[in-house]
Amino acid sequence: MSNDNSVLTTQGLIELNNRIADMEQKQGAEALDFFKTHLSDQLIFRRASGKVVGKSEPGGFLDSLEKPGPFESLRAQEIAVTPLGERALVTLIVVGARADGSVARYRNVRLFSISRNEWVIEFWYNYELTNAEEQLKGYEQLCTSYHAIDDFRSKLLALLPIVSGSGIFLLLTEALAKTPLKDVAARQFLYPIGLFGFVVALGLFCYELYGIRKCHALIEAGKRMERLLEIREGQFETRPRSLFNLINEPFAAGLIYSAVLGGWIFLTLLFPQSQGNSEPAIVHATMVATRVFSFGFAFTFIYNLTLPYWQYARGFFRKLL
């Protein structure tokens, strides 16, 4: 988080969440403008009723501001902020008082990100604390979301080296063939094909880094819900961070993605384009591929080690990213 703007500090987030409760109750044009600013266009909002809506569609969050609410007053309590670099996870309890004197309490889990120098809500999960069954259902949905993301990342991590390795092997087989003209023709296409493969792998690597951040946020939310629901031996609370304080999913991803990136850059630089029938530039290509691998793995390794401590290392990562 930025320290040079009070709006983006932890205290600023606490004040913003207090104001969210006020604006939900106030409604009207001012509330509409407020939520247009502080809700992501890709908002996922889970109502206390269990219905999942977005920001602007019919029946969405903004649409509900035009209808009178069920409460005479709303206030936020027990606001807890977990900084996650350019994001923050906020949990709180919203207390609503009805005209008949009854009170309802709702647990809110909100994932914020910074957009245009403002905090915006990407994910907003809301459930009534007086309904234990609904709380467990919400926990189950969070578990499902986490496992779906984790499963997709695992499959991608398994397929990428197989597909890339097979492609690189077949291309090198053609380029190194002794058939007259066949090898020269194949070598001319290694540079664009290798560059294309490198860019695609780099894009998937960036997606993996985002997935790591997203899973980390879901794990932290899961831990909070397990403590709230008093779930003993919950999968998030008891989940081991790593093996030997070192080896885990991001560590494996760093090895695999860095190796794939190095392989594609090796293929790209193996044959100089100005010398179509020259000998392979193995030494130069290997040196560059080794540097790509080393940088990619070192970056992921540092990223992984500092992930639980983003609030302390935010200045370092803001420069690095």
Alpha-carbon torsion (12, 18, 21, 26), positive or negative: negative
Supply 301's token pair.
């390794």
Backbone Cα Rg of the chain: 25
Least Cα distance to 96 among 130, 55, 51 occurs for 130
Give the predicted TM-score (pTM) of the model.
0.51
pLDDT digits (tens, 9 = 90+) for 203-230: 999 999 988 888 888 888 888 888 877 7
- Both tokens of 140, joined, read 């189950």
Q: Under a CB-based contact definition with an 8 Å cutoff, are residues 27 and 35 in contact?
A: no
CA distances, 106 to each of 16, 53, 77, 295 (Å): 18, 17, 10, 46
Q: Using one digit for the tens of pLDDT, what is the confidence trace for 177-206?
A: 655 555 555 677 788 888 899 999 999 999
193 contacts 124 by C-beta, under 8 angstroms: no
User: Average of pLDDT values for 131-157?
Assistant: 83
Q: Measured between alpha carbons, how far is 93 from 77 in angstroms, rounded to an integer?
A: 5
Tokens 């969405």 sit at which residue?
60
pLDDT on residue 244? 77
What pLDDT, on the 0 to 100 scale, is given for residue 85?
83
User: Which residue type is seen at 257?
Assistant: Y
